C-alpha cells in the first residue's frame, strides 16, 4: 500500500517544484543589452539621435522626443521561479538616461540596472 503512494507523491513534488512566473509585458529593446554592450554601442561625443533610434527604438519618455535632448529608456522583466521548492527571483529593471547636445550628438549617458 505504501509503494503505490510513493509515485503519486513524487510526481506531485516534481510538478510543484518547477513552477514559474515570467512577465515580459514591460520589456523593451533595452533588455537585449548589457551595460557593457550599451557602452560599446553608444559613444559619448559621436553617437547621434538617429543611431540611438536604430539601436533601441523610440524612447519611453518623453513621448514627443524629437525636440527634446533628454531621453529615457526603461525595461522591466519579472522572472520568478520555484525550482525544487526553492524560490529563485531573477527580476531585471533597467533604466537608461541619454542627454544630447543641440547638434543631436550624445553628450551624457547614465545606465542603471536593478537586480533582485
DSSP, res 114:
E
Q: Give the pLDDT of residue 24.
A: 52
Mean pLDDT, consecutive 10-residue segments, the chain of 116 residues? 60 58 59 87 96 92 89 80 72 88 96 78
pLDDT at residue 50, rounded to an integer: 95
| pLDDT value of position 74 | 85
Cα angle at 46 between 50 and 104, to 5 degrees? 45
What pLDDT is attached to residue 80?
67
Assess contact for 24 and 77: CB atoms under 8 A.
yes
Amino acid at each position: 500500500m505504501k509503494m503505490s503512494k510513493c509515485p503519486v507523491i513524487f510526481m506531485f513534488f516534481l510538478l510543484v517544484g518547477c513552477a514559474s512566473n515570467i512577465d515580459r509585458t514591460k520589456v523593451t529593446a533595452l533588455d537585449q543589452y548589457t551595460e557593457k554592450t550599451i557602452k560599446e554601442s553608444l559613444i559619448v561625443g559621436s553617437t547621434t539621435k538617429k543611431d540611438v533610434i536604430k539601436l533601441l527604438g523610440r524612447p519611453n519618455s518623453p513621448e514627443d522626443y524629437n525636440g527634446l535632448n533628454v531621453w529615457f529608456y526603461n525595461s522591466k522583466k519579472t522572472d520568478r521561479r520555484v525550482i525544487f521548492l526553492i524560490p529563485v527571483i531573477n527580476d531585471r529593471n533597467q533604466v537608461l538616461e541619454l542627454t544630447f547636445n543641440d547638434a543631436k550628438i550624445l553628450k551624457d549617458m547614465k545606465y542603471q540596472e536593478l537586480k533582485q
